[in-house]
Amino acid sequence: MTDGTSSPVRLARHCLGLLLHTLWPVACPVCGRLGQVLCEECLSSLLTRQIPRCLSCGGPAPCIDHPRSAPILPGAVYGGAIREIIHRLKYGRTRALGPILGRGLAGLHPRPFLDILVPVPLHLQSPRGYNQAEAIALGLGRAWRIPVRGLARWSCDVPARTRLSRSERRELRVEDFVVAPDVRGLRVGLVDDVCTTGTTLSRLASACTAEGARVEAAFVVAHVPG
Ligand SMILES: [Zn+2]
Ligand SMILES: [Zn+2]
């Protein structure tokens, strides 16, 4: 398939790709293009505007039961290549994917009127040394020029969500999050990598609201259909 560019340009791109690959041995996990953590074409084909979810119950938004609830805005349905990419990001093999996914998500929406972005915090007992939600938030924040503030933390040693059943996730309590009082009076956007039932985001939103913030939306890379 041709991309419409002339062959000298393609050759130059190919040579540049090889050079980058030598210096920085990576390849786009979707199309295999050398020297790219995730190429622009694959990023824009992976992320598209999805049906918003209700931040109160995780159902489709606008929600009849929670008409005033803020939306969860996913950029993909969890599965296939996006699942693989999130896995690579999450388990640390390719951390640079986080800001790239964040930038891709930012491109799906007009810049929101937010004061800060708050990533879902890393579990206290997580063996991973970095937070993938924060990495995504940094990409969003950079694109939109909105500061990222890690103002939330888990209040106790809650097991990682991947080890909880759907019903256990629904039982997470508001007190599972502690949010710094700095959020008072701010318009907040929450950020996470994956949204399953929406319970984690809903609880974090409640904890932010309890501290006097206004949660306007939650941005997630992918939504897992129930
Ligand atoms: Zn690609
Ligand atoms: Zn709802």
Do 109 and 7 have their domain in common?
no
User: Which single residue is written with the structure tokens 């790219």?
Assistant: 36
- Distance of CA 85 from the midpoint of ligand 1 (Å): 11
Task: Find the CATH number of the domain harbouring 124.
Answer: 3.40.50
Residues with CB under 5 A from ligand 1 (ion): 28, 30-31, 33, 39, 42
- Distance of CA 63 from the midpoint of ligand 2 (Å): 5
- Distance of CA 37 from the midpoint of ligand 1 (Å): 8
In a domain, 43, yes or no: no
- Distance of CA 198 from the midpoint of ligand 1 (Å): 30
Do 11 and 56 have their domain in common?
no
Do 1 and 31 have their domain in common?
yes
- Distance of CA 122 from the midpoint of ligand 1 (Å): 29
Do 151 and 105 have their domain in common?
yes
In a domain, 118, yes or no: yes
Do 85 and 21 have their domain in common?
no
Do 176 and 93 have their domain in common?
yes
- Distance of CA 33 from the midpoint of ligand 2 (Å): 41
In a domain, 65, yes or no: yes
> Nearest-5° angle of CA 71, CA 115, CA 46?
50
Do 16 and 106 have their domain in common?
no
> Nearest-5° angle of CA 21, CA 26, CA 27?
95
Do 86 and 147 have their domain in common?
yes
> How much is the pLDDT for 97?
94
Do 122 and 13 have their domain in common?
no
> How much is the pLDDT for 20?
65
> How much is the pLDDT for 2?
44
In a domain, 44, yes or no: no
> How much is the pLDDT for 64?
95
> How much is the pLDDT for 166?
65
132: nearest Cα among 93, 183, 169: 93
- Distance of CA 218 from the midpoint of ligand 1 (Å): 27
- Distance of CA 116 from the midpoint of ligand 2 (Å): 24
Q: Directed axis angle between helix 80-90 and helix 132-144, to 10°?
A: 110
- Distance of CA 195 from the midpoint of ligand 2 (Å): 14
Tell me whether strands 53-54 and 71-74 are parallel, antiparallel or unpaired.
antiparallel
In a domain, 41, yes or no: no
> How much is the pLDDT for 157?
58
3 alpha carbon, closest ligand: 1
Q: Model pTM?
A: 0.84
Residue 93, Cα to own-chain centre: how many angstroms? Answer: 17
60 alpha carbon, closest ligand: 2
- Helical residues (DSSP H) of 54-96, grouped into ranges: 80-90
What are the 10-residue block averages of pLDDT along the chain, 226 residues in total? 64 76 78 89 95 94 94 96 93 87 96 97 78 96 97 76 62 75 97 94 95 97 92
Do 11 and 109 have their domain in common?
no
Q: Give the total number of structural domains in the chain.
A: 2
* Residue 45 identity (one-letter amino acid): S
Do 17 and 100 have their domain in common?
no
> How much is the pLDDT for 33?
87
- Distance of CA 27 from the midpoint of ligand 1 (Å): 8
In a domain, 206, yes or no: yes
- Distance of CA 108 from the midpoint of ligand 1 (Å): 18
Do 76 and 139 have their domain in common?
yes
Host domain of residue 198: 49-223
